[in-house]
Amino acid sequence: ARLAQHFAVVPARLRLVLLVAYLRAALRHAATAHTKVLVFVSTGLQVEFLAALLRAEADAGDAPGGNAPGEGAVQTAPAIPRSAIFALHGSMGQSERTSVWRGFCKADAGVLLATDVAARGLNLDGVTQILQYDLPCDAEEYVHRVGRTARIGRAGSALLFLLPSEVGFLELLKGRGLELQEVRFESIQATLAAVGRVGKSAEARQRIFKAEVALQKRLEERAARDRALHDLAARAFQAFISAYAAHPKATKAILRLKDIHLGHLAKSFALREQPRALAFAAHKRRAAHKTKGRTKGVVAGRRIRIDGPGPASRPRPTIRKSSPAARMKRVAVGPRKPIGGDGL
């Protein structure tokens, strides 16, 4: 088998943009090259989020002017077709997983976003490229992942994305006799603006920068407009954090969450908010859910509990309701005088 193994050190804030750039470049001539890319991520929620985001990009690209560049913008590669995007993870039902597997195997080209459920026991026919977007849990799992390509004497390639703080993982791979060649992330950046190679001129670098900023902005705007997609992105972000903190002892000394800039990492989930703001928003949603249905109305300036414990014989308090307009009228007119009072 002929397997080319590479790694790229990618800053956290550029991970999502470079993922999209890599997939677009790989599938640009997919119909003739029969390209199939298998992308590994840590959690099922990340699979769902990335699939939803790429499909939203595909739908917008099909709409008139959906992803058209504005005035002065740089023309980039077209979005990946919706029919070429597949998603697979362990939380899916067996019938759904089988359907996805068959669809990907029958397709001439496509991208399969998956967790490690796809690293073992599945015969994924025709996979030409492996992209490990998130690190495997250890060197053994790395071997299982890259083993999905270059099968039966065919050629294949594998690329590992590393954060700057994760470079130490390469030493673990060396311990297993695995030597990876470096690919500069700038070469992936260059595909955004179709400059063909790493931009050395000031003009080429400017084109790449504009394309990178425009794509990140569009992805963030898409997530901000779609509440369901935004919530999925926030949940995927939190799932990634939990999975990263749960790495086994062999890799925990190298992969430390405190070494990652979480604000930059949030951008790789198309999120504009800082992680602290996300946590606060989640706390508010949980608090609102807990109190929903427990309290209603105000009596004597205090909130009352209407479904809490208490003696069955205790009478329910009467809830005084009034509209804002009625309250303003009472303030303006003053309290009503009793009939037969002074002056009558």
For the chain, percent of residues with pLDDT exceeding 90: 56
Per-residue pLDDT, averaged over 6-29, amounts to 93
Q: What are phi and psi of 287, to 5 degrees?
A: -65, -40
String of b and e for 149-174 (b: at least 16 CB within 10 Å)?
bbeeeeebbbbbbbbebbeebbebbe
| Residue 223: per-residue pLDDT | 95
| Residue 78: per-residue pLDDT | 73
Q: Using the predicted structure, report yes or no on whether residue 5 has a pLDDT greater than 70.
A: yes
Per-residue pLDDT, averaged over 112-127, amounts to 90
pLDDT in tens, 272-320: 986 566 565 656 666 776 665 554 444 444 444 444 455 555 555 555 5
The two three-digit tokens of residue 224, written as one number: 């901000």
| Residue 39: per-residue pLDDT | 98
Per-residue pLDDT, averaged over 31-42, amounts to 86
The residue type at 47: V
| Residue 153: per-residue pLDDT | 74
Per-residue pLDDT, averaged over 194-206, amounts to 71
Q: Using the predicted structure, report yes or no on whether residue 20 has a pLDDT greater than 70.
A: yes
Which residues are within 8 A (CB) of 252 and not within 5 positions of it... i.e. 6 or more apart?
A: none
**In whole numbers, what is the pLDDT of the chain averaged over residues?**
82
pLDDT in tens, 217-256: 999 999 999 999 999 999 999 999 999 999 998 888 889 9
Which residues are within 8 A (CB) of 50 and not within 5 positions of it... i.e. 6 or more apart?
A: 19, 39, 41, 87, 113
CB 216 within 8 A of CB 71: no
Per-residue pLDDT, averaged over 44-56, amounts to 97
| Residue 278: per-residue pLDDT | 59
Query: Locate tokens 């807990």: which residue?
Result: 290
**Lowest-pLDDT range of 15-19, 29-33, 128-132, 192-196:** 29-33
Q: Using the predicted structure, report yes or no on whether residue 338 has a pLDDT greater than 80.
A: no
Which is more confident, 206 or 271? 271
| Residue 72: per-residue pLDDT | 43
Instruction: Report how far Cα 181 is from the mean position of its chain's Cα atoms.
Output: 28
Going from the C-alpha of 248 to that of each of 139, 159, 255, the distances in angstroms are: 11, 22, 10
Which stretches does DSSP call E strand in 140-294? 155-162, 181-182
Nearest to residue 55, comparing CAs of 113, 133, 97, 126?
Answer: 113
| Residue 316: per-residue pLDDT | 56
